Chains A and B, each alone.
Chain A
Amino acid sequence: MKTITLTLKKFSSIALEFEELIPDTVYNWNKEDFENYQVPVGNSRFPLTNYFDIEVEGDAEGPEDVKMILEGDMGRVKYIGYRMTDGEIIVNGDADLQAGAEMIGGSLKINGNAESYVGREMRGGNIEVMGNVKEYCGTSYIGEWRGMSGGVIKVHGNAGKQLADCMSGGEIYIGGNCDILAGIHMTKGYIEIGGDVTRWPGGQMKNGTIVIKGKLSYLLEGFDPEGVFVDPEVDGKQLAGKYIKYKGDVGVNGKGSLWLDAEKNRNLL
């Protein structure tokens, strides 16, 4: 097991990019390798040691043996865990854009808030964010119609707009509230939102499942009610309580299912 600890000593207002610092590339690096490494900053590169104190302990045979700990405010560090296939990254602070984007495997834990595009086009692995995430969590790249296809994202706080755009697999759990258009264009996968949702979940969804345990302020017209179910089993998960089930989005002949907590959404009964 190899533990790599990078402790922030100088905050850069121009974002650092960490796409090369994933377990897959650094598992055989020693301390000197890190000290010689130049990290992309804006359109240049500067020594990693300008920004971080580096500690490396133990050895690793492959990325699966690596634990990277990023200490401090990573609010201007982008692409943490980008395309990682294995190993573990823990961020003890906030993370900037694209954390866990295109992730294939392994785990990423952010003990703070994350910016937009967490888990964009994720294919596998686990992401856990203890705070909030901003927009486009678990979505596709801009313009791309193939989004998140696997893995699990768990956000304990709130999520921003267009959660899981074009999702085609995997699971997303949001503990807090969620803004507009969660699960837009989704074709497969499971989204569970613990808190309230502003508007329009499941717009143009073709298939997949969205569960909302809080209050939905505005349901899209393209969803037909299919009845009220008590303690339903949805995608192999047992939900507790009464839920209203909708099918949609009929605008695109969608067969997706949207489950709303009946108690919190009595106005729709």
Chain B
Amino acid sequence: MEYILKNGIVYDPTNNVNGDKKDVMIKDGKIVDNVSSDAKVLDVTDKLVMAAGVDVHSHIAGPKLCLGRLYRPEDSRAGVVAKTDITRAETGFSIPSCSATGYRYSRMGYGTVTEAAVPPLEAKHTHEEIMAIPNIDVSPLALFGNNWFVLQFVKENDLEGLAAFVSSWLKISRCYGMKVVNPCGSEAWGWGQNVHGIDDPAPYWGVTGGEVVRALTKVNEMLGLPHSMHVHPNDLGHPGNYPTTIATLDVVKDIEKNPNVLRDQTIHCTHLQFHSYGGTSWRDAKSGAEPVADYINKNKHVTCDVGQVTFDETTTMTADAPMEYDLYKLTGLKWANKDIELETASGLIPVIYSPKSPVSTLQWAIGLELFLLIKDPWQVVLTTDSPNAGPFIRYPRIISWLMSSDRRTEMIENKEVHNWASKRTSLPTLDRVYDWNDIAITTRSAPAKILGLEKRGHLGIGANADVAVYDIEPENFDATKASNAAVVEDVLTRAAYTIKDGEVVVKDGKIVKIVPSRHMWTNVTGFEQQEKKVLEDIMPMFNRYYTVKFENYKVFDHYIDPAIEFTIDASK
């Protein structure tokens, strides 16, 4: 099928197209420079055209989601939509049903989403859920930061062995890249403890979070994985945690980037908002966004996503189990906890982010500060760490805040938010606004580049034909006006067209076609001998401590159909 999107206003930062009126041509699922006369014309005159969105960090599939749905049946009451001839019924707000997840991303014009935390033991479950999510390709990241084998390799300073282990475990779990969550902290949770800062060793192992991040980042660059180390640092959500965050980013500063990768960074710090707090307790908590943003502005080896708080009742879910326990002690709401054997732990608790609450407002303001203080939009990506700071369906609302400093001022001055926004952060002094080009960078081009996805997040020739068209005329619309914020949110929530691999899946905000999501995974070659040896070495420990047999541990091919395999030659 061929398409030509006529006369749209195109924002394609990767290819330096900044609001030009031009046609986008599609053939066989790719962007091309020429189509035949049979091409179907979609008239998008003066409408906003961008590549489909790319989410660098979200929680959409896997055991945490399932536990969340089981644990919060009351959340399923919200967001109920009846089935149509094309779609299945939808339920859920912060933890939507699998199909609703796909529909909602698709309606917002997104095409690629990263599932940010996959314990390899639960990878089968994650891939099963991805199979039930339509219309978005998913790049799952496997958890390594508290894995016993990783801790053992780090303890022995055996980077070669660690590299072979990572390479092997990415194949076994069919994951795209590496993620680290509260390194050593979730392992310490197995002993009822946590670690504080990057130099606090895990019990028994005696290695520290800093050592784990450094070793895994070295391995990441040794293998040349498309995505960098993706880290959720220690001390999430604790007042006064920003020095830990900066120390985590700094501990990998001298590690050289693999020359073969697309990305510029060697470390991606996720949901940075939760890691940028000053003060010593919630009584004197204040923003730590300025020093963190300053560090990022000076260091190009770092990228981040924000994890913007959206003022919703949502569900937090993370492999940072000790943090969830802290949150439970703070709020008293129902708490679930899970142990993932040799790999990690996880926790889950509902959270109500209220604009009337000083803490929620502080978190909200810190998120926006980070967006506005980090100068290079290629280094900062829009996320809500969905559903932890808010559900992903709120991205358009965040965009409306970013595009209008008037709207932000209005919220502060009209007391829509608590006065901690002005008393404890610098948000009222920041009048920077994002334009459509910046929005295209922070929601598409930057995340695609950070993930190392060459054919996504842009509209250059040969790119995947993942395109979003929004029913707004950027040349005749002033997004900086406070009164237009609701319009921006509304329009971006329901794309005029979402095109996935050259097929129209959304038209006028409605799903018109269902396509299966593809499982993106990285196949590292060139380490086969080392992998074999490592497997032999670790098998006694595996057999002794895991409750499953190795033969049943691996994700088989039928779990990842259809798949996109990224083959990396690590010997280069």
Contact = CB atoms under 8 A, between A and B. Distances in A.
Interface of A: 140-145
B333 A142 contact: no
Interface string B463-495: 000000000000000000000000000000000
Contacts of B71: 143
14 contacts: A140-B74, A141-B73, A141-B74, A141-B77, A142-B73, A142-B74, A143-B71, A143-B72, A143-B73, A143-B74, A143-B75, A144-B74, A145-B333, A145-B334
Contacts of B77: 141
Interface string B192-205: 00000000000000
A45 B334 CA distance: 38
Interface string B500-542: 0000000000000000000000000000000000000000000
Contacts of B333: 145
Contacts of A143: 71-75
Contacts of B73: 141-143
Interface residues of B, number: 8
Nearest to B83: A43
Nearest to B70: A143
A142 B74 CA distance: 6
B242 to A, nearest CB: 33
Contacts, number: 14
Interface string B66-110: 000001111101000000000000000000000000000000000
Contacts of B74: 140-144
Contacts of A142: 73-74
Nearest to B69: A143
A227 B75 CA distance: 43
A96 to B, nearest CB: 19
Centre residue among B72, B74, B75, B77 by max chain A CB count within 10 A: B74
A172 B72 CA distance: 27
A80 B333 CA distance: 31
Given A141-B74, A142-B73, 12 more contacts: A140-B74, A141-B73, A141-B77, A142-B74, A143-B71, A143-B72, A143-B73, A143-B74, A143-B75, A144-B74, A145-B333, A145-B334
Nearest to B82: A43
A184 to B, nearest CB: 14
A145 to B, nearest CB: 6
A253 B165 CA distance: 49
A80 B72 CA distance: 26
Return the 8 tightest CB-CB contacts between A and B, nearest first.
A144-B74, A143-B73, A143-B74, A142-B73, A141-B74, A143-B72, A145-B334, A145-B333
A226 B73 CA distance: 39
Centre residue among A141, A142, A143, A144 by max chain B CB count within 10 A: A143
A145 B74 CA distance: 9
B2 to A, nearest CB: 40
A252 to B, nearest CB: 9
A253 B77 CA distance: 31
A179 B87 CA distance: 43
Interface string B438-472: 00000000000000000000000000000000000
Contacts of A141: 73-74, 77
Nearest to A146: B74
A140 B72 CA distance: 13
B72 to A, nearest CB: 6
Contacts of A140: 74
Nearest to A206: B332
Interface string B47-75: 00000000000000000000000011111
A173 to B, nearest CB: 27
B349 to A, nearest CB: 11
Contacts of B72: 143
A126 to B, nearest CB: 25
Contacts of A144: 74
B230 to A, nearest CB: 32
Contacts of A145: 333-334
Nearest to A144: B74
A142 B75 CA distance: 10
A195 B123 CA distance: 54
A144 B72 CA distance: 7
A124 to B, nearest CB: 20
A136 B539 CA distance: 51
A45 B73 CA distance: 26
A145 B72 CA distance: 10
A50 to B, nearest CB: 22
B94 to A, nearest CB: 13
A141 B78 CA distance: 12
Nearest to B76: A143
A141 B72 CA distance: 10
A208 B513 CA distance: 53
B70 to A, nearest CB: 9
A59 B155 CA distance: 82
A145 B71 CA distance: 12
B429 to A, nearest CB: 38
Interface in B332-354: 333-334
A141 B74 CA distance: 7
A31 to B, nearest CB: 29
A141 B73 CA distance: 8
Nearest to B73: A143
Interface in B15-73: 71-73
A249 B74 CA distance: 25
Interface in B173-192: none
B160 to A, nearest CB: 49
A23 B399 CA distance: 41
Nearest to A252: B332
A143 B93 CA distance: 15
A31 B178 CA distance: 65
A140 B75 CA distance: 13
B335 to A, nearest CB: 12
Nearest to B75: A143
A142 B76 CA distance: 11
A191 B155 CA distance: 60
Interface in B318-374: 333-334
A140 B71 CA distance: 15
A143 B75 CA distance: 9
A69 B71 CA distance: 39
A150 B77 CA distance: 21
A142 B334 CA distance: 13
A73 B442 CA distance: 60
Contacts of B75: 143
A17 to B, nearest CB: 14
A145 B334 CA distance: 8
Nearest to A140: B74
Interface string B104-124: 000000000000000000000
A142 B72 CA distance: 8
